[in-house]
Structure 1
């Protein structure tokens, strides 16, 4: 799930194990995402909130 708020993209990243979660977080961080908060139980696995600046917009006031 992802949404846009305050000119940033917010996304919940989830995984079934801690190992997979660490891999997904590292992969997102390599693409410019930042971990926001902590890893917590989410559904049957784990989840965390990640945020990224919106890039490539001509007018940031749209949306």
Structure 2
């Protein structure tokens, strides 16, 4: 699985956290993979919102549901 630029730029920070918390190699790899999956999901959502061509972005918290 090739990693994104965001993941590559985050590696030094993840290595620092791993060293401070004494993570095992397995924990470090798990954090790297989870970070990559979160970034891919974020990009996927942004791409879908762009393709949908909504006039503006509105989250559920911005809707007035009391009416």
Q: Which has the higher contact order (CA 8 A, sep 6+)?
A: 1
Higher share in helix = 2
Determine which structure has more spread, i.e. the larger CA radius of gyration: 2
Common fold: TM-score over 0.5? no
TM-score (norm 2): 0.29
